Amino acid sequence: MKSTADSRRPSWLIVLVLAVTAVVSTVQFTLIIPLVPTFPERLDAPVSDTLWILIAPLLCGTVATPVFGRLADMYGKRRILLLCLAGVVAGNVLGLVAGSVWPLVASRALVGIAMGVIPISIAILRDELPARTLSFGIAVMSTTIGISSGIGLPLGGWLNESFGYHSIFWISLVATVLVGLGLPLAIRESPIRSGGRFDVVGALLLSTMLVAFLVALSNGGDWGWLDPRTLGLGAVAAVAGPLWILQARRSRSPVVDLGTSLSRPILLTNLASLAFGLAVYGNMLVTMSQAQVPVVDGGFGLDTFASGLVMLPAGAAAVLASPLAGLAVQRLGGRVTLLLGALIATAGYLQRILAVDELWMIVVGAAIIQFGVAVALAGIPSLITRYAPVGQTASANSVNSLVRSIGSSISAAAIAAAFSLVTLGASGVAHPTPLAFAITFAVSGAGGLLAAGIALFIPRDGPPRGRHRRPVRP
């Protein structure tokens, strides 16, 4: 019988397979974005309903990520990772047969489960990789978010124009099935598990709090912040939150270990992630709209596909950042890497406010931001992985992803409010005003700057710790 050490796969194979899995999973969040403006006519539905095609995966992913992370720590990381991929497959199958808006919203909600892939993959890296290669592996895994956003927008536009919008679901389905089949061949099931009994009550309370808060945040601008629906959901979140905290303190195996989450290094890292969440999606969501402003109105007049191509250099910048961020974590630690990435992203957003006259300026600014985002996102999980207990790696990284998603949801609400500032130019086409773009970049840049400020107070660290000689078994 082979020993545990003999059954380990090569480090490069583990990193490669998990990185490909992460790209295939996360790119599905951006592939659909270029199509969203076409859905009201295509599905014969009001804009307010079709916006749920974007909101549903973020909402479902935010809720599912901490739950799946905890399940991964308890019952096996590879097993739960495959369960995430199964949800994505089901979502794409439903998308292929959906003929109206709400089945399509349901399909995108299932795809949102893919948000749990990266935190669980990072936990697998900690279990399987030695310390000397762990920081590089985490950096590669973290930068897949930037890579996916860079390639997803133009790819989605091209697939739609060339083969129809159903081709997006076919490509996503086939790619997910392939990585799901290859994953068990390259990744063994980790022997490191926390065991325990899953806290169903805590999961329900946490989910209720998150859903109520995020739905109110996403729709408050349209409904009105004093609308009974907004206030009612806010009240539900306000009640469910303290109840969840009480349950987490009582449970012997909580969904989120508050003791770990409130330890100084992890608490400060999560606060920095919350702030940095404001900076992650502003570049991606706004750049295409800015490039599509008609020429007669002072814009660049690009179509959906061409405006998506504007983000390709940003995707290339994220790819370039991957090995550099790995070296930075190895040499400087996650704290300094986070600080540098946040400052670079902030500088990029400042450039986006000041340099808007030429298309190349937008391309360069988007690339600078995406480079900084990729570097910062490599530093954050290395900090979480270093300070989290061995049996809580997936859960701790999932909570961090959740916190960052909340920051991004706040950013999306601010962007939606800014985009209510529209103008009708000589072209007769309504589009956001230059002030709306400036507000978006200012909010995103402020998030990056705040994250950098918080990073200064995170304790000094070194490279994250790799696999342990004595696995914790249930």
Helices (H), 254-358: 258-261, 264-280, 282-291, 304-309, 312-332, 334-354
Residue 237: predicted pLDDT:
95
- Between CA 54 and CA 33 the distance in angstroms is 7
pLDDT digits (tens, 9 = 90+) for 440-464: 899 999 999 999 999 999 988 765 5
Looking up tokens 């916006």 gives 51
Instruction: Tell which CATH classification among 1.10.760.10, 3.40.640.10, 2.60.120.1440, 1.20.1250.20 matches the domain 11-198+253-455.
Output: 1.20.1250.20
Give the residue from 198, 256, 191, 193 showing the smallest Cα distance to 395.
Answer: 256
Q: Which of 174, 200, 163, 158 is nearest to 71 (CA)?
A: 200
Residue 2 has pLDDT above 60, yes or no: no
**Which residues are paired to 423 by β-bridges?**
431
pLDDT of the residue at 470: 41
* 287 touches 310 (CB < 8 A): yes
| For the chain, domain boundaries | 11-198+253-455, 199-252
User: Coil, helix or strand for 327?
Assistant: helix
pLDDT of 466 strictly over 70: no
Angle of CA points 139, 446, 291, to nearest 5°: 80
Check residues 156 and 247 and name the one with the higher pLDDT.
247
Sign of the CA dihedral with 286 first, then 291, 293, and 297 last:
positive
What integer is the mean pLDDT of 41-48? 80
| Residue range 114-168, pLDDT digits in tens | 998 989 999 999 888 887 788 888 888 877 877 777 788 788 878 888 888 889 9
Q: Is pLDDT of 469 > 60?
A: no
Instruction: Specify the residue for token string 């400020």.
Output: 453
Give the CA angle between residues 44, 50, 52 to the nearest 5°. Answer: 150
- What are 294-333's pLDDT values in tens digits? 888 778 888 777 877 888 888 889 888 888 888 888 888 8
- Mean predicted lDDT score pLDDT of the chain: 86
Biggest CA–CA distance in the chain, Å, is 76
User: Is residue 308 within 8 Å of 157, Cβ to Cβ?
Assistant: yes
pTM over 0.75: yes
What is the predicted pLDDT for the residue at 446? 94
**What mean pLDDT comes out for the span 382-403?**
88
pLDDT tens, residue by residue, 50-93: 878 888 888 888 888 999 999 999 989 999 999 999 999 999 99
Residue of higher predicted confidence among 1 and 160: 160
> Could you read off the pLDDT of 185-241 as tens digits, one per residue?
888 888 888 777 889 999 999 999 999 998 888 888 778 889 999 999 999 999 999
Q: Is the pLDDT of residue 471 over 60?
A: no
Query: How far apart are alpha carbons 461 and 84 in whole angstroms?
Result: 32
pLDDT per position as a tens digit, 31-40: 888 777 778 8
Helix boundaries (H) for 333-358: 334-354
